[in-house]
Amino acid sequence: MKGKDRGKTGKVSYVNLDAMKITVEGLNMFKKHKKPRKQGEKGQIVEVARPINQSNVQFVCPTCNNAVRIGVQEKDGKRVRYCKKCKNILEK
């Protein structure tokens, strides 16, 4: 939703609930300089995905392909998530 990767989508690879951060594959990429560890090995510049604050990320509904808010309702005694735009139930 914000920053240099606004409007891009990706798959969530890691969630840190304590720090409220989310790492998304291919987003918020930074270059990390890696030193050679063994003799004869060369140093490298590696691109690494860094965490984003969870408030800057939004869920994309698979049916309507829009960034949406998610609601929770009870169905058959279980809590299920649904898309607030198209009212479709989301599977895990």
- Residues 68/60, Cβ–Cβ less than 8 Å: yes
Same structural domain for residues 45 and 76?
no
Residues 6+ positions from 78 with CB-CB distance below 8 Å: none
With CA atoms as reference, report the closest residue to 25 among 2, 65, 55, 57.
Answer: 57
The span from the CA of 29 to the CA of 24, in Å, is 9
Question: What was the pLDDT predicted at 18?
Answer: 93
Same structural domain for residues 36 and 2?
yes
CA dihedral of residues 6, 10, 79, 53 (deg, nearest 10): -50
Same structural domain for residues 35 and 72?
no
Same structural domain for residues 31 and 16?
yes
β-pair type (21-24, 52-53): antiparallel
Q: What is the pLDDT along the chain (92 residues), one digit of tens a residue?
A: 777 888 889 999 999 999 999 999 999 999 999 999 999 999 999 999 999 999 898 989 989 888 899 999 998 889 999 999 998 898 76
Q: Which domain holds residue 16?
A: 1-57
Question: What was the pLDDT predicted at 6?
Answer: 87
Q: Tally the C-alpha atoms within 13 A of residue 91's C-alpha that lie toward its C-beta.
A: 2
Same structural domain for residues 12 and 45?
yes
Residues 6+ positions from 10 with CB-CB distance below 8 Å: 24, 25, 26, 27
